[in-house]
A and B are shown apart, each in its own frame.
Chain A
Amino acid sequence: MDSTFIPFFVVLPMLAAFLIPLLAKLWQGTSDLIANAVGAALFGLSAYGAVYLYTDSPALVYRMGGWVPTLGITLVYDHLTALVTLAINTVGLAALLFSVRYLDHYTGRWKFYSLFMLVLAGLNGVAITGDMFNLFVFIEISAVASYALVAFGTDFDELEAGFKYMVIGEIGGTAVLLAIALLYAKASTLNMAVVSQVLAGFGHTPLFWFILATFLVGFAVKMALVPFHAWLPDAHPSAPAPVSALLSGVFIKVLGVYAMSRVVFNVFGLSRANAPSFFNLLIGFGVLSIVAGGLLAYAQKDYKRLLAYSSVSQIGYILIGLGIGNYWGVVGALFHLLAHALGKGLLFLASGSVEQGAGTRELDKLSGLETKMPATVWSHLLGALSLAGVPPFAGFFSKLFLIIGAISARMYWLAILAAVFSTVTLAYLVKVANQAFFARRDREPTQAKEAPATMIAAMLFLLVLAVLVGIGFKPALDKLVGPAANVLLNGLGYAKGVLGG
């Protein structure tokens, strides 16, 4: 198959990011139109790529400028990339559609879309790149645009959250750069495939572990693992709702989980068999995040802040899946990456709809929304069921696979913990429903009106996909998630796929 479609994942949003400011003044809806058209095109492109990549086909490789590896930058599109780009562009399209009416109470519509396009370009770039330094550049493109988007409201909370997020996030980004510098000093090349071959010849020296630890710090900040999570509960609620959906849904997973697993499995060539202590460390971080994030989420009184802590907790599930390190564990982690992207994207869009319709997102001030905005309420309820792991939604299968992985690795306590904290997930999401959505005797129903049609359409889009992935878990597993897990478990085989083609 021809690999020339790969660069368009970055080219399209990058072009749109600079076209939107130029053309925004022509007509009022220009920026909406361009942004949504590009969002739809990206979604189509990633669906096309995911369908076209056969289950057993090798990675597609695109060489920038025709330069051979070690001289030029290679772009790699394998099953893992297909899964991640699909998640990015699905949530991206829903968020863009949602933005059209949500931005009515903001000024500077074209600035928002321009920054949003830069985030999408950076995220897609992180997913497709096969070069270490290029990875850093794309991480920074999406991160810098996201800092600006978090502070987009420029009110007290937004500015504080934006600054905090920016300082912590940039320390993480600099840690990644430091790790890349040390890696270059050791390997004298930046191409991930070649680096992995060079590293395989060095053995696990102290410097090897130091570089890996530096990477881990950088990515842990980006994915908000406890104890690096302090910025997330401030930053994600302060952003406009569609941005929260993108940040919580895919941003932390692409910059954190995807980049880390690519580096750990495919570049450093680690697996449960040759580095058990490292994988136990991942499980430790994961358990800490699940427990702390879940309990803190339950204590929140702000709708979006609750969802943000929930993201910290759900990232923990992905981490324990990677830490278990066998086939079902990694499949569970990647399935949860997809399921949580759809579910949390949906919940954040619902929270934006509540905020716009009822004028507040404090749970104590809301009541009886069920009769006023039924579509939003049902989106939240079904999304919550998916996230908590109730069949037949997507979230059920991710937790099922995780538990299968834990049991087959003889980590029974981990399986029990995962199951118990599913109920905690359900508890805090039901708490939102009880307080805000259903009528309460002690309080007057809040005045609210249902969201406009495009916003409901955006939520429905994610909801339908969450149900489809759940009902069609078998094809999703066989065609997309299973092969993606094999890319990671294949470890150093990644290099052969990239260089051999």
Chain B
Amino acid sequence: MIPFFACLLLMLIGLYAVVTKRNIIRIIIGFSLVEYAVNLLFALIGFKRDALPPIITNAAQTRNFVDPVPQALVLTAIVIGLATTALMLALAMRIYEKYRTFDITEVRRLRG
């Protein structure tokens, strides 16, 4: 169970960074931490101790395999994460060009 709680802790650290940090880049890093924690948790779900890689060479061989589905899903999730991180950084660059700062407390024109 310990690795699962470690994942949860990593996620909470990321969330903490997203909520409390003022620098946009640090917020993005915090978000990446959350995402990595979830991906790691997903990969851990498929893990079994002392199991073989899920490559079946002999159909009669029904040994203990690692579940390959979470690995495939995590690959997809990582690609989606790449897209979101890239877009976030692109937005951060445009915000810097406009506001001349990465401080989120100064990027605050919308109210009400």
| Other-chain contact of A156, B67, B83, B98 (Cβ < 8 Å) | B98
Can you list 23 A-B contacts (CB < 8 A)?
A133-B76, A136-B77, A137-B76, A140-B80, A144-B80, A144-B87, A148-B87, A154-B98, A156-B98, A159-B95, A159-B99, A160-B108, A163-B88, A170-B31, A171-B34, A174-B34, A178-B11, A178-B38, A185-B45, A233-B110, A233-B112, A234-B110, A305-B112
* Known pairs A140-B80, A171-B34; A166 contacts B73 (CB<8 A): no
Please, which residues of chain A bring their CB within 8 A of the CB of B27? 167
* Known pairs A166-B91, A170-B31, A171-B34; A156 contacts B80 (CB<8 A): no
- Distance between Cα atoms of A454 and B4 in the complex (Å): 56
Scan A165-189; emit 1 where CB is below 8 A from any B CB, else 0.
0110011011001100100110010
Please, which residues of chain A bring their CB within 8 A of the CB of B98? 154-156, 159
B10 at the interface (CB under 8 A from A): no
Scan A144-158; emit 1 where CB is below 8 A from any B CB, else 0.
100110010011110
* Known pairs A233-B112, A301-B112; A167 contacts B18 (CB<8 A): yes
Please, which residues of chain A bring their CB within 8 A of the CB of B87? 144, 147-148, 166
Please, which residues of chain B bring their CB within 8 A of the CB of A355? none
Nearest CB in chain B: distance from A359 CB, A = 19
**A-B contacts besides A156-B109, A159-B107, 9 pairs, CB < 8 Å:** A157-B110, A160-B108, A163-B24, A163-B91, A167-B88, A174-B34, A234-B110, A299-B112, A300-B112
Which residues B16-64 have CB closer than 8 A to chain A? 18, 24, 27, 31, 34-35, 38, 41-42, 45
> Is A144 in contact with B95, judged by CB distance below 8 angstroms?
no
A358 at the interface (CB under 8 A from B): no
Nearest CB in chain B: distance from A404 CB, A = 36
* Known pairs A144-B87, A181-B38; A159 contacts B70 (CB<8 A): no
Please, which residues of chain B bring their CB within 8 A of the CB of A159? 91, 94-95, 98-99, 107
- Distance between Cα atoms of A136 and B80 in the complex (Å): 10
Nearest CB in chain A: distance from B4 CB, A = 9
Nearest CB in chain B: distance from A377 CB, A = 24
The interface on chain B, measured as residues whose beta carbon lies within 8 A of the other chain's beta carbons, has a size of: 34
- Distance between Cα atoms of A170 and B38 in the complex (Å): 13
Please, which residues of chain B bring their CB within 8 A of the CB of A185? 45
Most buried by A among B80, B88, B91, B92: B91
- Measured CB to CB, the nearest residue on chain B to A296 is B112
> Is B41 in contact with A171, judged by CB distance below 8 angstroms?
no
Please, which residues of chain B bring their CB within 8 A of the CB of A144? 80, 83-84, 87
B66 at the interface (CB under 8 A from A): no
Nearest CB in chain B: distance from A173 CB, A = 8
- Measured CB to CB, the nearest residue on chain B to A132 is B73
| Other-chain contact of A163, B15, B107, B112 (Cβ < 8 Å) | B107
| Other-chain contact of A184, B69, B83, B95 (Cβ < 8 Å) | B69
Task: Give the interface of B toward A (CB within 8 A).
Answer: 11, 15, 18, 24, 27, 31, 34-35, 38, 41-42, 45, 67, 69-70, 73, 76-77, 80, 83-84, 87-88, 91-92, 94-95, 98-99, 107-110, 112
A190 at the interface (CB under 8 A from B): yes
Please, which residues of chain B bring their CB within 8 A of the CB of A370? none
For the complex, would chain B's binding face be called helix, strand, loop or mixed by DSSP majority?
helix
Please, which residues of chain B bring their CB within 8 A of the CB of A160? 95, 107-110
- Measured CB to CB, the nearest residue on chain A to B45 is A185
| Other-chain contact of A174, B38, B45, B88 (Cβ < 8 Å) | B38
A302 at the interface (CB under 8 A from B): yes
- Distance between Cα atoms of A157 and B69 in the complex (Å): 42
Please, which residues of chain A bring their CB within 8 A of the CB of B67? 188
A162 at the interface (CB under 8 A from B): yes
> Is B91 in contact with A177, judged by CB distance below 8 angstroms?
no
> Is A140 in contact with B107, judged by CB distance below 8 angstroms?
no
> Is A166 in contact with B42, judged by CB distance below 8 angstroms?
no
> Is B45 in contact with A162, judged by CB distance below 8 angstroms?
no
Which residues A329-388 have CB closer than 8 A to chain B? none
Please, which residues of chain B bring their CB within 8 A of the CB of A181? 38, 41-42, 45, 70
Nearest CB in chain B: distance from A256 CB, A = 19
> Is B88 in contact with A161, judged by CB distance below 8 angstroms?
no
Which residues A274-324 have CB closer than 8 A to chain B? 299-302, 305
Please, which residues of chain A bring their CB within 8 A of the CB of B73? 133, 184, 190
- Distance between Cα atoms of A96 and B69 in the complex (Å): 39
- Distance between Cα atoms of A140 and B11 in the complex (Å): 19
Please, which residues of chain A bring their CB within 8 A of the CB of B80? 137, 140, 144
- Measured CB to CB, the nearest residue on chain A to B67 is A188
Scan A211-240; emit 1 where CB is below 8 A from any B CB, else 0.
000000000000000000000011000100
- Measured CB to CB, the nearest residue on chain B to A141 is B80
- Distance between Cα atoms of A163 and B15 in the complex (Å): 16
Nearest CB in chain A: distance from B39 CB, A = 8
Nearest CB in chain B: distance from A441 CB, A = 27
Most buried by B among A148, A157, A163, A299: A163
Most buried by B among A161, A171, A233, A305: A171
> Is A154 in contact with B94, judged by CB distance below 8 angstroms?
yes
Please, which residues of chain A bring their CB within 8 A of the CB of B91? 147, 151, 159, 162-163, 166
- Distance between Cα atoms of A144 and B80 in the complex (Å): 9
- Measured CB to CB, the nearest residue on chain B to A162 is B91
The 7 A-B pairs with the shortest beta carbon distances in the complex, nearest first, are: A181-B42, A185-B45, A234-B110, A140-B80, A163-B91, A178-B38, A159-B95
Nearest CB in chain B: distance from A318 CB, A = 24
- Distance between Cα atoms of A299 and B41 in the complex (Å): 44
- Distance between Cα atoms of A163 and B91 in the complex (Å): 6
Nearest CB in chain A: distance from B2 CB, A = 16
